[in-house]
A and B are shown apart, each in its own frame.
Chain A
Amino acid sequence: MEQLLQHLLNGLLLGATYSLLGVGLTLVFGLMNVVNFAHGEFYTLGAYAVFAALVGASIDFFVAIPLAVMVGAAAGAICERCLLRPLRGASIDTIMLVMIGLWIAMQNAELLGWGGVAKSVPTPFPSRPVVFGPVSVSLLRIFVFLVSAALILGAHLLLARTKLGRAMRATFQDRETAALMGVQVERIHTVTFALGAGLAAAAGALLGPVFLVYPSMGDLASLKAFSVVILGGLGNFVGAALGGLVLGVAEELGAGYVSSGYRDAVGFIIIVAVLLLRPSGLFARAERVG
């Protein structure tokens, strides 16, 4: 029983970062209809940014994280401006392939820049876990969970309550009408993509210290993000948030009770199962973003 509780707790804590990844991707894939296979690369970028800030520039941990998020968002904005804007109107397949090219380029640039050896990110938290009755958890993971939850909540409020959020929803529902009403449609595209990239970078900045940082870490992150998006339903913000938790728990249970070698297979299996059985996602009736 205690084992189960521990697994559930671990799953939820980790799942919050998956939710973060998923929410960022559902914005881009669901709203902008861009199949962003490079999503994981912004995740990796965030992780390396934190590493560079801490180890290279000796910046304080709690400053490095938001810095990494901004780096990710900026990179996203640049990519949108340079790659997606010129291709506006191109077929979804072409854009998908361009994103694949970006994926390959970014990952190998990181490989060249940082080398293939995994890096460890120092944190100000004690490594000894805190014990709460039957379960134990490290302070770092609690921090990661809280920040993830805060960012998800923040993004939701941004979309639902602010003028910018309204402009975003309007643009992707009906571009022409939004433009006629004075919305700067091109800028909204850039901002949306940057938001998605920033959230991915945040997930990377938070998980980098938990695990290790290496160039191909984004591959699994991308897949898991897609898994979460499919689970929650394309464009479904709440669905993605919940889906991330489901994935986290499923992985932990799978690793704990079946086999740890196949841990990452859980994400794949979810994708296959949901696509084949209920393509609109498990939470399809929940609130839609667009």
Chain B
Amino acid sequence: MKRLAVVVVLAVAASAPAWVWNPYHLHTLIMAGIFAVLALSLNLLLGYTGQLSLGHAAFFGIGAYATALLTVKLEWSPWIGLGAATLVPAVTGWVIGRLALKLRGAYFVLLTISFAGVISLVSVNWMDLTNGPLGLPGVPPVEIALPGLPRLSLRTKSAYYYLVFAAVVGCYLVCLALIRSRVGRALIALRENEALAESVGIDGTHYLVLAAMMSAGMAGLGGGLYAHYTRFVSPEVFLFSYTVTMVIMVVAGGKGTLAGPVVGAVIFTVLPEALRALTSWQWQMLLYGILLIVVLFFMPKGIVPTLLEGRRRA
């Protein structure tokens, strides 16, 4: 039964460009996909090791800048750009993990916020590298150039949708593979009872670094996808509101599950677009804050787990 539902959902999602006529709606779905990658990345850290990063927009931004700089200034292929968008933040994540060592809880959060704050200031002030507040326009679209076939430029929304869709599925599968293994169990053990985990031989630092690295890399991939879609990167990618949105998606969707963040990403991309006609962006953020509190009070596990539990009991 569950497998059938998954197949149906995948089929519907995969065929979306065929039946979503309004290009604006397709745009919304593409953004939902990018955010799904971001939410899955934050979930790796928050949902599985239990550590909260409030600086995740920094990895998103570093990924975006990495690919923008390589493709605009050095004119390298966007595929290399996307690779760099994943690798550079991953290395950064590794550094943070290694530096954080024994920091947990609120101290880890503060470390991530501070890191993000410094990066954001650098992107604004280091004009020679990043062009400062003016940003980097002209990020080239992703192209598929296989020998013998015509060059395919992913310029249209439909084409880009498939790229993002593939990325979401790929990230989901990576998370799944990780969770269903000894590595995933070690991460979860950290969240559940770190002292006990250490006592049975699980190296807390090693696994936290691993999670930080993968989480950052995935967020960077999201940034790369964003850069080649909007074709423009500016310090605005470091806006705290991106981090906030990611946190809401994961917490409200259901941290510690894999479907939760994806569902959360879809809801919190589609919902604001639906509300956009009615209210302004500030109202939306205000509602986000209130919603976060409400969810934590009444559905602390998140939407997906609460629904699943409700069905199991019924």
A2 interfacial by beta-carbon distance below 8 Å: no
Docked pose: A71 CA to B272 CA in angstroms = 33
Segment from B11-19, B136-144, B221-229, B279-287 that makes contact with A: B279-287
Contacts of B52 in A (CB 8 A): 93, 96-97
B296 interfacial by beta-carbon distance below 8 Å: yes
B10 interfacial by beta-carbon distance below 8 Å: no
Contact residue among A92, A104, A267 (Cβ-Cβ distance under 8 Å from B106): A92
Chain B residues within 8 Å of A, Cβ to Cβ: 50, 52, 54, 99, 101-103, 105-107, 109-111, 113-115, 117-118, 121, 124-125, 240, 244, 247, 251, 282-283, 285-286, 288-293, 296-297, 300
Contacts of A226 in B (CB 8 A): 110
Chain A to chain B contacts (Cβ below 8 Å), 11 pairs: A83-B293, A93-B52, A94-B296, A97-B296, A98-B296, A106-B289, A108-B289, A223-B114, A265-B117, A268-B114, A272-B99
Contact residue among A86, A92, A223 (Cβ-Cβ distance under 8 Å from B117): A223
- B303 → A minimal CB distance (Å): 15
The 7 A-B pairs at the shortest CB distance, nearest first, are namely A105-B289, A104-B289, A101-B292, A108-B286, A268-B114, A101-B293, A35-B106
Contacts of B285 in A (CB 8 A): 104, 107-108, 111
Docked pose: A103 CA to B297 CA in angstroms = 16
Contact residue among B50, B102, B118, B247 (Cβ-Cβ distance under 8 Å from A268): B118
Interface size on A, residues (CB 8 A): 41
- B130 → A minimal CB distance (Å): 13
Say what secondary structure dominates the interface of chain A: helix
A264 interfacial by beta-carbon distance below 8 Å: yes
- Given A272-B111, A275-B103: A100 in contact with B117 (beta carbons within 8 A): no
Contact residue among A98, A100, A262, A271 (Cβ-Cβ distance under 8 Å from B114): A271
Contacts of A219 in B (CB 8 A): 240
In the complex, the answer to whether B125 meets A108 with C-beta atoms within 8 Å is: no
Chain B residue nearest to A272 (CB atoms) is B114
- Given A112-B282, A268-B117: A261 in contact with B289 (beta carbons within 8 A): no
A102 interfacial by beta-carbon distance below 8 Å: yes
Contacts of A86 in B (CB 8 A): 297
In the complex, the answer to whether A112 meets B283 with C-beta atoms within 8 Å is: yes
Say what secondary structure dominates the interface of chain B: helix
Contact residue among A83, A90, A96, A272 (Cβ-Cβ distance under 8 Å from B115): A272
In the complex, the answer to whether A104 meets B121 with C-beta atoms within 8 Å is: no
- A176 → B minimal CB distance (Å): 24
A276 interfacial by beta-carbon distance below 8 Å: yes
Contacts of B244 in A (CB 8 A): 100, 104
Interface centre among A92, A106, A268 (most CB of B within 10 A): A268
In the complex, the answer to whether B289 meets A103 with C-beta atoms within 8 Å is: yes
Chain A residue nearest to B115 (CB atoms) is A272
List 10 extra interface pairs beyond A261-B124, A264-B121, CB under 8 A: A35-B109, A97-B247, A98-B293, A98-B296, A102-B289, A108-B285, A111-B286, A112-B286, A268-B118, A275-B107
Contacts of B289 in A (CB 8 A): 101-108
- B195 → A minimal CB distance (Å): 16
- Given A98-B296, A261-B124, A264-B117: A230 in contact with B110 (beta carbons within 8 A): yes
Docked pose: A203 CA to B244 CA in angstroms = 26
Contacts of B103 in A (CB 8 A): 275, 279
In the complex, the answer to whether A105 meets B293 with C-beta atoms within 8 Å is: yes
Contacts of B125 in A (CB 8 A): 259, 261-262
A269 interfacial by beta-carbon distance below 8 Å: yes
In the complex, the answer to whether B105 meets A275 with C-beta atoms within 8 Å is: no
In the complex, the answer to whether B292 meets A109 with C-beta atoms within 8 Å is: no
Docked pose: A104 CA to B294 CA in angstroms = 13
- A103 → B minimal CB distance (Å): 7
- B187 → A minimal CB distance (Å): 16
Contacts of A269 in B (CB 8 A): 114, 118
Docked pose: A96 CA to B46 CA in angstroms = 13
Chain A residue nearest to B279 (CB atoms) is A112
Docked pose: A96 CA to B300 CA in angstroms = 13
- A195 → B minimal CB distance (Å): 20
Digit string of A199-224 for contact with B (CB within 8 Å is 1, else 0)? 00000000000000000000100010
